[in-house]
C-alpha cells in the first residue's frame, strides 16, 4: 500500500540567528526565527511524513509552547518522526523538496543537504531530491523576509 504526504512551512528571516536548512548551517547575514532551530526544510519533511501516516503535524508532536523544544535540533525531531513512520510499518519511496528563497543561493549546499536528509531518513540519496527557487523578488520570500519550503513524500508498506 502507498501513502502520500505533503508539507509546507515558513520561517521569518531575522538578524542574529543561524540559517539552518536541511541540517546544514548556511553562511548568510540573516537566519531563521523559531522556537526550535527553525530548520524550515526539515520541519516540512517531518510534516509531509506525518501527513502520509495520518499522524497530524509537527506541532502536535513537538509543541512550540514546550520549553523542551527551545532551540531544538530539528534533525533529532525528524529522526523521531521517521522512527514513528517505521513503527507504523512504512518504508520510503522518495522525497521531493522545494526551498523557496530569494537568498541565500542554495546551489552550493544542495548536495550536502541531500546527503544529510538521506542520513536522517536512513535511505539512499537517490531517494531524496532537493530543489531551490526564488520567487523573482515577488512576495515575502522575494523581499527576503522569510524562507518557505514545500515537500512531497511517498511511503510504501514494508
Ligand X SMILES: C[C@@]1(CO)OP(=O)(O)OP(=O)(O)OC[C@H]1O
> Which of ligand X, ligand L45E5XJ5, none lies near 34, with the C-beta cut-off 5 to 8 A by kind?
ligand X
Q: Of ligand X, ligand L45E5XJ5, none, which one sits near residue 133, judging by CB under 5 to 8 A according to partner kind?
A: ligand L45E5XJ5
66: left (phi over 0), alpha (psi -120 to 50) or beta: beta
Phi, psi of 156 (to 5 degrees): -130, 145
Residue 54 cell numbers, joined: 495520518
In the complex, least distance from residue 138 CB atom to ligand L45E5XJ5, rounded to whole angstroms:
10
Give the helix ranges, DSSP H, for 72-154: 74-87, 110-120, 139-142
Does position 101 interact with ligand L45E5XJ5 (CB under 6 A)? The reply is: yes
> Element (H or E) spanning 84, and its range?
helix 74-87
Nearest CA-CA partner of 119 in 25, 31, 24: 24
140: nearest Cα among 131, 148, 132, 151: 148
Instruction: Give which of ligand L45E5XJ5, ligand X, none residue 106 binds (C-beta under 5 to 8 Å, depending on kind).
Output: ligand L45E5XJ5
158 secondary structure, DSSP code: -
105 near ligand L45E5XJ5 (CB under 6 A): yes
* Nearest distance from C-beta of residue 19 to ligand X, angstroms: 14
User: Pattern of binders to ligand L45E5XJ5 over 22-61, x per CB under 6 A?
Assistant: ----------------------------------------
Please list every residue from 66 through 95 that binds ligand X, using CB under 6 A: 69, 72, 77
Distance between CA atoms of 6 and 17, rounded to whole angstroms? Answer: 27
Backbone conformation region of residue 15, classed left if phi is above 0, alpha if psi is from -120 to 50, else beta: beta
51 makes contact with ligand X (CB under 6 A) = no
Judged by CB, which is closer to ligand L45E5XJ5: 1, or 107?
107
35 touches ligand X (CB under 6 A): yes
Amino acid at each position: 500500500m502507498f501513502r502520500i504526504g505533503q508539507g509546507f512551512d515558513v520561517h521569518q528571516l531575522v538578524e542574529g540567528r543561524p540559517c539552518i536548512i536541511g541540517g546544514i548551517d548556511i553562511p548568510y547575514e540573516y537566519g531563521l526565527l523559531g522556537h526550535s532551530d527553525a530548520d524550515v526544510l526539515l520541519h516540512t519533511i517531518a510534516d509531509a511524513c506525518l501527513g502520509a501516516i495520518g499522524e497530524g503535524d509537527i506541532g502536535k508532536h513537538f509543541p512550540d509552547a514546550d520549553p523542551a523544544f527551545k532551540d531544538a535540533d530539528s534533525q533529532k525531531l525528524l529522526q523521531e518522526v521517521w522512527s514513528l513512520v517505521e513503527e507504523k510499518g512504512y518504508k520510503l519511496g522518495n522525497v521531493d523538496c522545494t526551498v523557496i528563497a530569494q537568498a541565500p543561493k542554495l546551489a552550493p549546499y544542495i548536495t550536502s543537504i541531500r546527503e544529510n536528509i538521506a542520513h536522517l531518513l536512513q535511505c539512499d540519496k537517490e531517494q531524496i531530491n532537493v530543489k531551490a527557487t526564488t520567487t523573482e523578488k515577488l512576495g515575502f520570500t522575494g523581499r527576503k523576509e522569510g524562507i518557505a519550503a514545500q515537500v512531497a513524500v511517498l511511503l510504501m508498506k514494508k
